[in-house]
Structure 1
Amino acid sequence: MTRVEKTANVVTLTIHAVLDALIPLVEDLSRELPPTERFRRLLDTLRTLFPGDAAALLRLEGDTLVPLAINGLSSDTLGRRFRVSDHPRFAQLLSQREPTRFAADSGLPDPYDGLVQGVEGDLEVHDCLGCPLYIDGRLWGLLTLDALDPSQFDALDLPSLQAFLSLAAATVSVVDRIDTLARNSEEEHARAEAYRLASSTMRREMIGSSAPHKRLIDEISVVASSDLTVLITGETGVGKELVANAIHGLSTRAGKPMISLNCAALPDTLVESELFGHVRGAFSGASADRRGKFELADGGTLFLDEVGELPLGVQAKLLRVLQNGQIQRIGSDSEHSVDVRLIAATNRDLAEEVREGRFRADFYHRLSVYPLWAPPLRERGRDVLLIAGFFLEENRSRLGLLSLRLSNEAQAALLAYTWPGNVRELEHLIGRSALKALVRHGQRPRILTITQDDLALSDARHALSAQTGAANGSADAPVDFRSAVEHYERTLIGEALARNDRNWASAARELGMDRANLNRLAKRLGLK
């Protein structure tokens, strides 16, 4: 056999291999598949045709690349949001129409350094290939392929890659078109908008893929299109304000303002003025007329956070507003009509508060027309890693790092922890642990890895166990979750006060709380 014939056979085998890999993807275009499954199969085929260590599909949203599917990268990558301005490699890839391969000695930092799954240590990505995807002439996003071997893509067949990119663009286009058709119905439109809001770069996101999170998103999409009063319940730190923002953003009032008021952050004497406003001279210090939150939210939504903290007298006046839409400023004889949708949130059991006489029954029933429960983080499974990825990327940018990641042991610790403080605790933990890891290194590393020791979750768990056990007379005494959290809060506040010489204002700043809110919490816990 001549050399020409051998070469022809190799080319023929290559074409057959490409066709064998691409034909299932072509067949998938006519099938009804979830977007996540389409994207998973797309990346599987990519790594089959062009072997490497990791691949990702990212959609461009404004100036941010959002990972939709990953293969070979750590789980938290899906929760990250890559601002293009922070990552020069992404910026260069998006500026080209053709695939771009970076030299192994390129000085541009790689966003995936340290994120390749199953690789321990500060091993960096060495061979990087990025391909922009265009849909109907519009830049849609990126496909990336990375390898730890700097010569991995030396023999890459460009025509085969171009054929794959065309099919990838078709797959993405199919997903987009199916999504567009689904939005023709009102219910599916609301659902799609809920996920769009969750990926907005303008506010904190509702990230997650667990069943409890998806149920919450579905409920949001259902109630948002109505004008019902919503009562959001859930533990401290689960993100009740994010839920309220999502409801408002999907409602017919989205073009009008959403005004928020933390009912626990104000003295009882000012709550009424904040809600209803006042006229000049109504009380000492009222030097001018002032509109309240209801007037500011006219036509839009008013969100009352920690509504369980409202005084009984104010509850009665709020009930009247909800019934007839009329408000009266303090010191004024005239009434104003307002058109406001009310969303309230609390971490208290308001039914129990009603039984104890601390909350009006009629106001409670008026608030809970549509109760909505935000699940705690401990019930959301691997959502912990997705949300951690979001906070890791935030802290990477804030600390000026090239890469910030979690070790495998740290990821396992996050999944095993019970999260009494929920998402807010996770946010603070990631920020604190990143600083610990940075201090531990001494010099700023190229890839900073947060270890299990940096998290120190076992210390928090043991402290919580000891506190609850001591309060019940035994370190092994069983307690309910609410009691455990209250004992933990009591200890944290006590320690902060001790470090600040019993100065409540200083303790509040250290704990990241409003002083009035800390005072209310301390009273409830029996510390004042």
Structure 2
Amino acid sequence: MTGMTLSVDLLATIALELQNSLSQHDRFQRLVNSLRQLLRCDASALLRYEASHFHPLATSGLASDVAGRRFKLADHPRLEAIARAGDVVRFPADSELPDPFDCLIPHHDKLKVHACIGLPLFAQHELIGALTFDDLVPGKFDGFSDEELRLISALASAALSNALLLSRLERQSLTLPENARQAASPVTSEMIGRSAAMQQLKKEIAIVAGSGLNVLITGETGVGKELVAQGIHRLSPQANKALVYLNCAALPENVAESELFGHVKGAFTGAIHHRVGKFEMADNGTLFLDEIGELSLSLQAKLLRVLQYGDLQRVGDDSSRRVNVRVLAATNRCLKQAVEQGGFRADLFHRLSVFPMHVPPLRQRVDDIVLLAGFFIEQARVRLGIKQLALNADAIAKLEGYSWPGNIRELEHTLYRAAVMVRAAYPQSALFITPSFINLPEEPPGPPQASAPRDAGHEELQGDLQAATRGFQRRVISATLAAHQGNWSASARTLGLDTANLHRLAKRLGLK
């Protein structure tokens, strides 16, 4: 191997491409694709460093679920070695440190990575990320000098540093306090997803966070409404104050008022001391009222008074107390319908829904399923003490073909159950989850389709549900493309999909 001195032109081309008006993700994807081509290796990855974790920003040659994984340094000694190094890290082929990407290079018989180098990325001597290159052939990178690899590191560092700077400037444009900007995106409450629906939701969160308005978050059970509330609070001027949670559906009627507003000693039997309610706990901060639609009408009236005037009375207390609380409410019910039926106060509904937000169900953002699967698989791997855990392509197809009525929560439980089952069946270091370990209930038939004409090519739905679903998707996409003379953008609009998502779906279905 003659080294990279013959590829200076390609490096210059890569640098110029990074200046093109692409989305941030596309820019990073182009970077890792080009660098993988430059080093002629099996896999490459660009990772962002934050809060002792590495977050994949773009990968090439790795399993699709890697993008959703979050690598904690304490669980990945090889990544920790890269983070602690100030320069190029070359791992010997016989290194005993487990590689986080073992078993995650698809379409290869070998499961263990043998050649690996890591490049820590810095901005003003602060670690901001890393580049990794992996190959199944030992010694693959021996022909590349450290000086050549440092050029790549400098190129990637500049690109990532500029992207992070732009992100900080965007947050500053929201006139948020410094503490709120620094508190952004902790791993524990991260919203995973790159679909158009998720990008729109994240944009709405950024818009409303600094406004101080009350927000009504709607969506089906298990879609992540609490994560939305956490995201709003984290980016708000109240970020350094308390975020207090209360599940209204779990409150018995006789204690609900005390939970919300507190009580004084002797107010009722069992009130042996003063108690501070959730509103007082959230003073100058944020109160998240989950399942707000389950509150009784009498409590709704008392809640409305606090929202209108900012004062409350503890149960059994004649004096009022002033509070300054931002309320975020969530429900899986249609409150408009509840208002019409007399089950929810119209004035409270309008007071809560100053800025309504809807969290889309998982079935409307299929492309996020593989990312979420990677996120949960990595968590399960660590919790169960498995050396490596991966999904094969058929398992991913099965996940993407299911409608997930329980949404993200159901996906999480399904994958944890699969991880437990595969560990019990194959007690070895590296494990693959196949479709047989993914137990999903049989889906109820959908509503009848009005005026759905059958054509000669429409066969009866037979066999397993996944195959039938993929066949139906192929027919619909093909028919839509034909109706638009092969125009993918117009077809995507008709189907309610992002154009890039339609291309990826068509590729998975064998239409491209």
TM-score range for the pair, normalised by the shorter chain length = 0.7 to 0.9
2:102 is aligned to 113
Deviation at 1:362, TM superposition (A): 2.2
After superposition, the C-alpha distances for 1:366-386 in whole angstroms (9 at most, x for unaligned) are 222221101101111211111
- SS at the partner of 1:117? coil
State the partner residue of 2:411: 426
Report the structure, 1 or 2, having the larger helix content: 1
Structure 1 range deviating more: 65-74 or 165-174: 165-174
Distance 1:327 1:251 in 2: 24
1: CA distance, partners of 2:317 / 2:70: 50
Q: Is the 8 A contact 1:93 1:130 kept in 2?
A: yes
Alpha carbons of 1:252 and 1:279: their partners in 2 closer, same or farther (altered >3 Å)?
same
- Three-state SS of the structure 2 residue aligned to 1:235 is coil
Distance 2:292 2:4 in 1: 66
- Say whether 1:453 aligns with 2:442: no
Equivalent residue, structure 2, for 1:491: none
Partner of 2:473: none
Letter of the structure 2 residue corresponding to residue 296 of structure 1:
M
Q: Is the 8 A contact 2:373 2:415 kept in 1?
A: yes
Q: What is the match of residue 312 of structure 2?
A: 327
From the superposition, tell whether residues 390 and 328 of structure 1 become closer, same or farther in structure 2 (CA, over 3 Å).
same
Q: Tell me the SS of whatever aligns to 1:291.
A: coil
Amino acid at match of 2:82: L
Q: Normalising to structure 1: TM-score of the pair?
A: 0.80
| CA deviation map 1:5-40 (0-9, x unaligned) | xxxxx96x963x311211112323544443223222
1:328, 1:336 within 8 Å by CA — same for their partners in 2? yes
Q: Please give the alpha-carbon distance, in whole angstroms, between the structure 1 residues aligned to 2:4 and 2:292.
A: 66
In structure 2, the CA distance between the partners of 1:194 and 1:116, relative to structure 1 (3 Å rule), is farther
Q: Which amino acid aligns with 1:461?
A: E
- Equivalent residues in 2 for 1:130-145 (5 A)? 130-145=118-133
| TM-score for both structures, normalised by structure 2 | 0.83
Q: Secondary structure at the match of 2:244?
A: strand
CA distance in 2, matches of 1:321, 1:409: 53
Report the 3-state secondary structure (helix = DSSP H, G, I; strand = E; otherwise coil) of the residue aligned with 1:146: strand
The residue aligned with 1:56 is 45
Contact 1:240 1:374 in 2 (8 A): yes
Q: Say whether 1:385 aligns with 2:373.
A: no
Q: 1:361 aligns with which of 333, 342, 346?
A: 346
Closer, same or farther in 2 for the Cα pair 1:354/1:317, shift >3 Å?
Answer: same
Identify the range of structure 1 (95-104 vs 70-79) with the bigger mean alpha-carbon deviation: 95-104
**Mapped contact 1:194–1:220 kept (Cα < 8 A):** no
Is this contact kept in 2: 1:258–1:302, CA < 8 A?
yes
Q: Which residue is 2:493 aligned to?
A: none
Equivalent in the alignment of 1:6: none
Q: Counterpart of 2:129 in 1: which secondary structure?
A: strand
**For 1:415-460, what per-residue CA distance to the aligned partner results, in whole angstroms no more than 9, with x for missing partners?**
111010001101111111100111111x2x2211111111122xx1
- For the Cα contact (< 8 Å) 1:104–1:126, is it kept in 2? yes
Distance (Å, rounded) in 2 between the aligned partners of 1:317 and 1:181: 41
In the alignment, structure 1 residue 90 sits paired with structure 2 residue 75: no
Matched, 1:376 2:361: yes
| Corresponding position of 1:496 | none
1:101 corresponds, among 73, 85, 90, to 90
Aligned to 1:200: 186
174-183 vs 238-247, which moves further: 174-183
2:323 matched to 1:338?
yes
SS in 1 for 2:288: strand
> Are 1:34 and 2:20 counterparts?
no
Partner of 1:246: 231
Task: Deviation per CA, 1:57-104: give whole Å up to 9, x if none.
Answer: 112112111111111111111111111111111122222223222222
Shift of 1:45: 2.3
Distance 2:351 2:170 in 1: 35
Alpha-carbon displacement from aligned partner over 1:93-125 (angstroms, at most 9, x marks no partner): 222223222222222111101111333x67121
Taking the aligned partners of 1:90 and 1:366, their CA distance within structure 2 comes to 49
Q: Distance in 1 between matches of 2:219 and 2:77?
A: 41
Partner of 1:518 in structure 2?
Answer: none
> How far, CA to CA, are the matches of 1:184 and 1:227 in structure 2?
16
Aligned-partner Cα distance in 2 for 1:327–1:352: 29
How has the CA–CA distance of structure 1 residues 347 and 171 changed in structure 2, closer, same or farther, with 3 Å as cutoff? same
- Conservation of the 8 A alpha-carbon contact between 1:122 and 1:447: no
Structure 2 counterpart SS, 1:461: coil
Is the counterpart of residue 74 in structure 1 residue 63 in structure 2? yes
Measure the CA separation in 2 of the matches of 1:369 and 1:174.
36
Aligned mate of 1:288, from 273, 278, 281: 273
Q: CA RMSD in A?
A: 2.4
**1:399 Cα deviation after fit:** 0.6
| Distance (Å, rounded) in 2 between the aligned partners of 1:169 and 1:249 | 27
**Rg comparison, structure with higher value:** 1
SS in 1 for 2:228: helix
What secondary structure does 1:261 align onto? Answer: strand
| Pair 266,280 (structure 1): closer, same or farther in 2 beyond 3 Å | same
